[in-house]
Structure 1
Amino acid sequence: MQPSPSIGIVGAGLAGACAAFALHRQAHVEVFEATDATNQAFRATGGLFHPLMTRRARPNWQHEAALTALEQLLAEVGDQVPVRRGLLRVAFDERQAADFREAACAYPHWVQWLSPEAVRERFPQVRAPYGALWISQGGALSANRLIDVLLARSGVPVHRPVRVVDWEETSRQVLLHTDRGDTHAFDYVILAPGYGYRLHPELARLPFQAVKGQVISLAGPASLATLPLVLATVHLVPSDGLLFVGSSYEPAFTDLAPSDAQTHRLWQEATRWVPEVMQGTVVAALTGVRVIRPRRPLPVLSPLPGRQRLWLFSGLGSRGLLYAPLLASWLPEALREPERLPAAVRL
C-alpha cells in the first residue's frame, strides 16, 4: 500500500465502519452505503460478545486477539458506546452442562460454573435446571451505535443512499460505478456489502450463505430491566427499558418480513428460561440477514480471486462484534502485504 492511498469502502455496516476507522489516519477513505441511515440490521439492537461462543463453550478462533481488538476499540470511543458487562450462559441440557463444567475448569480466568442452586440464588428470575456459566468478560452493546460513532469519529465521507453497481480493476486503480451514474477512482476498494453481496455476480458465486434472523422487543414488567444478559436457546438483552429477545436462524427464506410464527417461538423460548417474560408485551419484531461461509464458519478478509486492489470483508455471521475490530485492525498492513493474512480468512 502506497503512502496516503485512496480507499473506497462499499458498505457502512459493522465491517465497513471498523475498516473506515482502522484506515482513516493513513489514507483518504470514502464509504458508499446503499441504504439510508434508518435501515439498520436487527442484531444491532443488542450485539453480544464473549470468549467462548461455540456450542461446547470452547475458545473462538483468535479469541484473545479478537477480544483485545474489541476492547481497544471500545477504549477509543469511550462512553459514547455504553457496554453492559456480564453474561449468563444457561446450559440447554445435561450434556451441555458437562461441557460447560469442563470449560470452567479449563478457562477459570474467563468463566465460572454456577450450579442450578447457585443460579437460583444469584439470579432468581432465571430458570437454569442444568446450571450455567457466568462470563464476566461477556457483554452487549448496540452495534448500530458503534457503527455511527466509528463513522463519525473517522470523519470520512459517507455517500448514502448510493449503490455501487459495478467495478473495474486496472493495474493502478479501481473504478466504482454507482446507480447515480458516477464513477469514483481509488487505489484500493474494500467490499463490505453484507447481504448486498448477492447483487454482484463476482460475489454471488462465492461460497456464502444468507441466513435470515428475527428478534423481538418486549415492554414490561419493570423487573425485566434487572435481568443479566442471558444466552440460552435464545438471547435476552435488556436495553433502554425494553427486553430484546433473539434470534431465529432461517437459511431458506423468501422475504424479510417478520413472521408471527417466529415471534411466538422467540417469546416461548424466552419464557422457558425467564418465566416473567410471559407478562411482557411484544412491541416490535425486526428482521435482518447474516452472511456466513457454511463450510468454513470464519469471516473473510481477502483480495478477491484474481484481484490485487479489490478486497472483500464479509462472512461475519453472528460474531461480528468479536471479529470485525480484529480483522479491520489488520487492514493497514494487509493491504501492503496480503500474504501475511492468516489462511483461515483468505478466499
Structure 2
Amino acid sequence: MMAAVICLGGRAAAAAAASSRSACAFASSGPRRLQRRRSGAFAPRPLYSSSVSKSNEEEDGGGGEGGGAERLRDNYSSLLSDGSSVAVVGGGLAGLSAAHHLLRKAAERDMGLKVTVFDREDGPGVGGASSVAGGLLHPFSPRGTLLHNGSRALASSNVLLERSLLHRPDAVLRNRLYRVALTEKNAVQLRTTAEKYPQWAKWLDPQDVEGRTGARNTLGGLELGGGCRVIHVPTYLRGLWEDCVDTADMSERDSEARWVHVPHSNEGEGEGAADGIAWRERLAEYDAAILSAGSGLFRDCVLPPAPPEEGMEEGDDSWTGLPVDLVRGQSVELSVRPDDGDDDGDDGDGDGGGDPTPSEAVLCGKYVAPLPDRDAILIGATHEFQSEPLSPQLVADDLRARTSDLAPGPWSDGEVRAVTEGYRVQSRRGPRGRLPIAGRAPVEVRESVHENSWLFTGLSSRGLIYHGVYGDALTDLMMGMCDEGGEEGENPTPEGFPDLYWWMRGGSK
C-alpha cells in the first residue's frame, strides 16, 4: 500500500489556497502585536486593571467583590429597549448565536430591534475559525466527564441547529459520533461515562468500534447520540443567519437583521481600524456592540491593549488584557473512496458494514470527520502556538502520526487535497475548565471601542457546544433578564451562571 501523499497541484492547490485564505481571512489582516515567549510561542496576557488579585480571589472564594466587580459595574448603561440597535463584530458561531438570541427575545417581548453583523467576509460560513471547525457537537471532555453546563449547552445548541435546519436541512451530516480509547485509563473513564450518561453514551467493544468506524487498535469507545451530532458548520451558519433575517422580517415591530462586509485593513490605516475607519467611529451610531470576532479582536486590534504590568516595558501595547491564548489550528482534507454504508443519520444500530473507508466521525485527541462531499474527510487539528505555521507536509505528517489508527484506509490510499487553517481564541483554564469569555466589557474597552460594549469570545475548540448557551446568557444580560446580584459589589448574572465573569478574576493556565 502507498502512503497518503500531498497532492495540491492545479485546482486542488487553488482550492487549498482559497480554503486557507478563507480560514484566516478575519484573523490575518492588521498589525501583529502578539508578545511572544522565549520559545517563539504567543505569551499569556494579563487581565485588564479591573481584575482582582489572586489573594483577593482566594479570600472571597472567587466571589464578586473586589476591583473587577466594581469596575465592571461602572456606568452600567441602559439595557436594550424597543427600537434599540446592536452591532455584532464577527459573524461566526459566537456572533450569530448572539444575533439570533437577541432577535428572538425581542420578538417574544414585542420589541423592535435592529442587529447589524460586521464581518470580514461578505456572508456567513466563509472565513474565520468557525468556518473550518470539525463540527463535532457533544458535551464531554476527553476524559469523558460532562463539561460545565454541558447538558444545558447541548440542548441550547440543538435549539439553534433546529432553526438552521429549517433553511439548510443538509447542515447535519450524522446524528452520532464516536470517542475511542487508546489507553486502559481512558477506557475505564469512558466506560464510566456510558454508565452515568446512558441518554447520550453507549459503550462499544473494540470489534464494534472497528466495524462501525474503521478505527483500529482501540480499547473500545463510546457511541454518542441523543443530540450529539456531526455538523457542517459553514452550512449551519448560513441557515442560522437566514433564520435571523426571517425572525426580523416576521416581526410586527421595526426589526432588522443586516450583514455588513468590512474589507480587510491595510498597513498604515492605524490600530483599531477596518477599511480605514476606526471601530469606535463605526460603532458610534449603535446602542450596544457585541465584540465576538474571535482572533480578529486581537490581531486586528479591535480591542485596546491592556495597561502595562510590572516587568513590562512602557509603551509595550502587545498585551490584550484577557486570559486567552491564540492558537493556530490546521487540518487536512483527505480524499477517500465513498462509503457504501448507511449515512442517512439513523441511530447507528446496524453493523456498520466494515468498509475500509467508513465516513463516521471519530475523536481521540484529534478527530476524523465526514464532509458533505462523500469522497473526502476532514482530519484535524494541529495545535500551534509558534509564530510561523507548519508547512503542509509537516501538518500532514503530524496528523498522520496521531490519527493513522483512526483512519487507516484514507491515510493508506488517499491524497491530501487541501489544508485549512484558522486561529482559535483559547481561554485559560479556570475553576471549571476552559469557559468562554462573555459579559460586559471592562471599562478600558468601553472607553475605547463603545461605551455599551460586550464580549463574547474564547470559545476555542468548544465553540459548537458553548456558542448557544453562552449566547443565550449574554443576551439575557443585555435584555435585563438576569439576577440583580445579591451582595454589594456582585455583578448581575443570568440565572444559572453565577460564575459568568470568571475571566474578570484571572485565568490560571
CA contact (8 A) 1:32 1:162 kept: no
1:183 pairs with 2:282? yes
Q: In structure 2, list runs of 5 or more residues that go unmatched.
A: 1-78, 107-112, 246-256, 307-319, 340-355, 483-491, 505-509
CA contact (8 A) 2:130 2:233 kept: no
CA contact (8 A) 1:8 1:30 kept: yes
CA deviation vs aligned residue, 1:271-319 (integer Å, no higher than 9, x gap): 2223212111110011111101123310011111235611000010111
| Aligned mate of 2:324, from 203, 208, 231 | 208
| Aligned mate of 2:361, from 229, 233, 240 | 229
The one-letter amino acid of 1:194's match is G
Higher relative contact order (CA 8 A, sep 6+): 2
1:51 pairs with 2:139? yes
Hey, what's the Cα distance between the residues in 2 that align with 1:287 and 1:110?
A: 31
| Aligned mate of 2:415, from 266, 281, 289 | 281
1:344 pairs with 2:499? yes
Equivalenced residues, count: 336
1:14-29 matches, within 5 Å, as 14-25=93-104, 26=106, 27-29=113-115
Tell me the equivalent position of 1:13. 92
CA contact (8 A) 1:90 1:128 kept: no
1:51-70 matches, within 5 Å, as 51-52=139-140, 54-70=141-157
Comparing 42-51 and 20-29, the one that deviates more: 42-51
Hey, what's the Cα distance between the residues in 1 that align with 2:217 and 2:82?
A: 55
Hey, what's the Cα distance between the residues in 2 that align with 1:186 and 1:68?
A: 31
Comparing 313-322 and 294-303, the one that deviates more: 294-303
Question: How many angstroms does 1:245 deviate by?
Answer: 0.4
1:121-132 matches, within 5 Å, as 122-123=211-212, 125-132=214-221
Tell me the equivalent position of 1:31. 117
Question: How many angstroms does 1:202 deviate by?
Answer: 4.4
1:254–1:195: structure 2 CA closer, same or farther, 3 Å change rule?
Answer: same
Q: Secondary structure at the match of 2:404?
A: helix
CA deviation vs aligned residue, 1:51-98 (integer Å, no higher than 9, x gap): 21x121010111111111111112222251521111111102111111
Hey, what's the Cα distance between the residues in 2 that align with 1:207 and 1:119?
A: 38
Tell me the equivalent position of 2:158. 71
Hey, what's the Cα distance between the residues in 2 that align with 1:220 and 1:227?
A: 9
Hey, what's the Cα distance between the residues in 2 that align with 1:149 and 1:322?
A: 17
1:253 pairs with 2:378? no
Q: In structure 1, list runs of 5 or more residues that go unmatched.
A: 168-175
Question: How many angstroms does 1:162 deviate by?
Answer: 4.3
TM-score, normalised to structure 1, is 0.88
CA contact (8 A) 1:234 1:246 kept: yes
Hey, what's the Cα distance between the residues in 1 that align with 2:378 and 2:423?
A: 17
TM-score, normalised to structure 2, is 0.61
Tell me the equivalent position of 2:336. 220
1:225–1:7: structure 2 CA closer, same or farther, 3 Å change rule?
Answer: farther
Look at both structures and tell me which one has the larger radius of gyration over its CA atoms: 2
User: Over aligned residues, Cα RMSD in angstroms?
Assistant: 2.5
The one-letter amino acid of 1:39's match is G
1:262 pairs with 2:395? yes
Q: Secondary structure at the match of 1:194?
A: coil
**Higher-strand-fraction structure:** 1
User: What percentage of aligned pairs have identical amino acids?
Assistant: 27
Q: Secondary structure at the match of 1:319?
A: helix
CA contact (8 A) 1:220 1:279 kept: yes
